[in-house]
Amino acid sequence: MKILTGNDLVTGDVVWWAGDGWSRLVGDAVDVGERGDELARAEEAALRVVAPYVIDATVTDEGVRPAHIKDRIRALGPTVRPDLTLKPNDADAGNWVI
Amino acid sequence: MYRYDNYDQSIVEARVDEFRDQVQRRLTGALTEDQFKPLRLMNGLYLQLHAYMLRVAIPYGTLSGRQMRKLGEIARKYDKGYGHFTTRTNIQYNWIKLADAPDILAELAGVEMHAIQTSGNCIRNISSDQYAGVSADEVADPRPWAELLRQWSSFHPEFTYLPRKFKICVIAAEEDRAAMRLHDIGLKLVERDGAIGAEVYAGGGMGRTPMVSPQIRDFVPEDEIVSYLEACLRVYNRHGRRDNKYKARIKILVHELGVEEYKRQVEEEFAHMRTLGLNPPTEELDRIRAHFAGPDYETGLSDAIDRSDPAFALWVDRQVVAHRAPGYAIVNISLKPRGGIPGDASAEQIELVAALAEQYSLDELRVTHAQNLVLPHVRKADLYAVWQKLDEAGLAEANLDLITDIIACPGLDYCSLANARSIPLAQKLSERFAAQDRQAELGELKVKISGCINACGHHHAGHIGVLGVDRKGVENFQLSLGGSGAEDASVGQITGPGFSEDGVVDAIEKVTDLYLAERQEGERFLDTYRRIGMKPFKEAIYG
Number of other residues whose CB lies within 10 A of the CB of residue B343: 28
Considering the domain architecture, whether residues B460 and B529 belong to the same structural domain is answered as: yes
User: Which residues of chain A have a CB within 8 Å of the CB of B31?
Assistant: none
Total number of domains constituting chain B:
4
Torsion of CA B444, B450, B455, B457, to 10 degrees: -50
pLDDT recorded at residue B278: 83
CB contact under 8 A, B50 and A14: yes
Considering the domain architecture, whether residues B151 and B282 belong to the same structural domain is answered as: yes
Tell the burial category of A77 from Cβ atoms under 10 Å away from its Cβ (0-12, 13-18, 19+): buried
CB contact under 8 A, A74 and B50: yes
pTM given for the model: 0.97
Consecutive 10-residue averages of pLDDT for chain B (543 residues): 96 98 98 97 96 98 98 98 98 98 98 97 97 95 97 96 97 98 98 97 97 98 95 97 96 98 98 90 92 93 97 98 97 98 98 98 98 98 98 98 98 97 98 97 98 97 98 96 98 98 98 98 98 98 95
- SS3 letters across B493-542: EECCCCECHHHHHHHHHHHHHHHHHHCCCCCCHHHHHHHHCHHHHHHHHH
User: Which residues of chain B have a CB within 8 Å of the CB of A69?
Assistant: 412, 470, 473-475
Helix/strand/coil for B9: helix
User: Which residue of B37, B98, B471 is the best one to mutate when testing the A interface, meaning the one whose CB has the most A CBs within 10 A?
Assistant: B98
Domain span at residue B21? 6-109
* Partner-chain residue, chosen from A12, A79, A80, that has the shortest CB–CB distance to B47: A12
Chain B, nearest residue to A82 by Cα: B413
* Partner-chain residue, chosen from B52, B423, B474, that has the shortest CB–CB distance to A12: B52
Determine, yes or no, domain membership for B125. no
Determine, yes or no, domain membership for B300. no
Considering the domain architecture, whether residues B284 and B139 belong to the same structural domain is answered as: yes
Considering the domain architecture, whether residues B285 and B163 belong to the same structural domain is answered as: yes
Q: Is the CB of B51 inside 8 Å of chain A's CB atoms?
A: yes
Considering the domain architecture, whether residues B282 and B149 belong to the same structural domain is answered as: yes
Number of other residues whose CB lies within 10 A of the CB of residue B440: 14
* Partner-chain residue, chosen from B97, B412, B427, that has the shortest CB–CB distance to A70: B412
The distance of B99 to chain A (nearest Cα, Å) reads 6
Q: Which of B324, B357, B392 is the last residue of a domain?
A: B392
Considering the domain architecture, whether residues B155 and B236 belong to the same structural domain is answered as: yes
Considering the domain architecture, whether residues B75 and B142 belong to the same structural domain is answered as: no
Cross-strand bridge partners of residue B346? B82
CB contact under 8 A, A77 and B473: no
Considering the domain architecture, whether residues B153 and B266 belong to the same structural domain is answered as: yes
Cross-strand bridge partners of residue A40? none
B458: domain CATH number is 3.30.413.10
Chain B, nearest residue to A78 by Cα: B413
Considering the domain architecture, whether residues B215 and B166 belong to the same structural domain is answered as: yes
CB contact under 8 A, B412 and A69: yes
Q: Which of B255, B290, B325 is the last residue of a domain?
A: B290
Determine, yes or no, domain membership for B118. no
Considering the domain architecture, whether residues B453 and B524 belong to the same structural domain is answered as: yes
CB contact under 8 A, B413 and A69: no
Q: Is the CB of B47 inside 8 Å of chain A's CB atoms?
A: yes
pLDDT recorded at residue A69: 96
The distance of B423 to chain A (nearest Cα, Å) reads 7
pLDDT recorded at residue B358: 98
The distance of B355 to chain A (nearest Cα, Å) reads 27
Report yes or no: B434 and B404 within 8 Å, Cβ to Cβ.
yes
Considering the domain architecture, whether residues B138 and B202 belong to the same structural domain is answered as: yes
User: Which residues of chain A have a CB within 8 Å of the CB of B33?
Assistant: 44, 50-51
Distances in whole angstroms, Cα of residue B319 to Cα of each of A21, A62, B160, B407: 53, 47, 39, 17
Determine, yes or no, domain membership for B128. no
Q: Is the CB of B34 inside 8 Å of chain A's CB atoms?
A: no
pLDDT recorded at residue A90: 87
B336: domain CATH number is 3.30.70.3340
Report yes or no: B440 and B401 within 8 Å, Cβ to Cβ.
no
Considering the domain architecture, whether residues B245 and B383 belong to the same structural domain is answered as: no
CB contact under 8 A, A10 and B424: no
Determine, yes or no, domain membership for B479. yes
* Partner-chain residue, chosen from B49, B416, B427, that has the shortest CB–CB distance to A80: B427
Helix/strand/coil for B162: coil
The interface residues of chain B toward chain A in range 396-415, judged by CB-CB distance below 8 A, are: 412-414
